[in-house]
A = this chain, B = another copy of it.
Amino acid sequence: MINIGVIGYGYWGANLLRNFAESLATRPHVVVDPDPARLEVAQRRYQGVKTATDIHDIIDDPALDAVAIATPVSTHFDLAMTALRAGKHVWLEKPMTETSAQARQLIEEAEKRDLILLVDHTFIYTGAIRKMREIVASGDLGDVYYYDSTRINLGLFQRDVNVICDLAVHDFSILDFLLDEHPVAVTASGTTHFSGVPENLAYVTLFYSSGKIAHVNVNWLAPVKVRQILLGGSKKMIVYDDMAASEKIKVYDSGVKVTTSPQEIYQLLVGYRTGDMWAPKIDTTEALRIASEHFAKCIETGAAPVTDGRLGLRVVEVIEAATTSMHGRGETVQIEARGMKSWSPLSI
């Protein structure tokens, strides 16, 4: 049983508290938030949990094993560094930090102190993404050709981060998890329609040295909510529709075959084939519950989390590069090639 203090009781902090409370592997002891009204709501729901407005009620409490940080991104670095220096394991919301330099410092500090640092890229713990990883790893898709994601809805605008940081971040982590390859370049376009507010829509393209291409369309100003990923392979293709009530993952036995017939006018070089479609059963356990228990287990065993600081860093690097490109109206920005985590059998 891991004792946890939670910093920040906003929308996501409330989800954290609920999951830490309902899991048998974790127990929330203290929740800190600057807003007394939020704390009152937390207190009404969880009468055994202590509430406080000062983070030192968490940092200095020797009974706490870990700290979960669910605050605005601009505060992540300071809070996480303080927690690590106090010897606490850290659960950090995404994106990990504002800059890759900060992310590197946190990784170093955690490693020096043998502390677990988990970045909450929640999607990776969903049944759907784990199933996609399983299918990709099995080789059933053949060569992966492209990844194409749409994340649009009428969303609350954020003051401190742009839409890439808020929504495309999910795709950057999913790509890191699904593919055994890191993007080498990015081009992004985006705009804001309100002065003084960060970009509210953006289109990001990632290039891989293998020829793979990934595209992400994110938009806070769309009248309908879409959460859809296409993953095209040489043998099969996957459509993941996260808004579907059931059959979120569909695997299409469809593809393209190159024909060799003589080239005349009207002649096509490449034809297509369509076959069956298959929607595998997906584990519907709440992703946060799986992540909570993974966090507790990593603390117990010392194993690195699937979404460790290194994955978190790689995501921040892509966000940085994409934002630079967007501010340069689509100029291509290189991303440093780097070794990926080994693609060993997954054990979330």
Contacts and interface: CB of A to CB of B under 8 A. Distances in A.
A194 interface: yes
A154 interface: yes
A77 interface: no
Given A187-B189, A330-B332, A331-B331, 7 more contacts: A152-B230, A154-B256, A159-B263, A187-B329, A200-B270, A278-B278, A330-B330
A207 B191 CA distance: 10
A332 B329 contact: yes
Nearest to A216: B203
B193 A145 contact: yes
Nearest to A74: B265
A271 B156 contact: yes
A154 B230 CA distance: 13
A339 interface: no
Interface residues of A, number: 83
7 contacts: A146-B191, A156-B268, A159-B268, A205-B330, A207-B329, A217-B217, A276-B280
A246 B272 CA distance: 16
Contact of A267 (B45, B159, B211, B217): B159
B266 A10 contact: yes
Nearest to A153: B272
Nearest to A206: B189
A45 B256 CA distance: 33
Contacts of A152: 148, 230
B279 A277 contact: yes
A278 B279 contact: yes
A34 interface: yes
A155 B154 CA distance: 32
Interface in A237-286: 237-239, 243, 245-247, 250, 252-256, 258, 263, 265-272, 274-281
A187 B328 CA distance: 11
Contacts of A253: 281
A97 interface: no
A265 B278 CA distance: 39
Nearest to A21: B44
Interface stretch (A54-62, A220-228, A294-302): A220-228
Of A34, A158, A191, A331, the most chain B CB neighbours within 10 A belong to: A191
A191 B217 contact: no
A223 B201 contact: no
Given A191-B213, A215-B217, A247-B277, A157 B222 contact: no
Contact of A222 (B196, B222, B232, B270): B232
Which of A44, A159, A197 has the most chain B CB atoms inside 10 A of its CB?
A159
A159 B269 contact: yes
Contact of A224 (B239, B266, B267): B239
Contacts of A223: 230, 232, 237-239, 250, 252, 254, 277
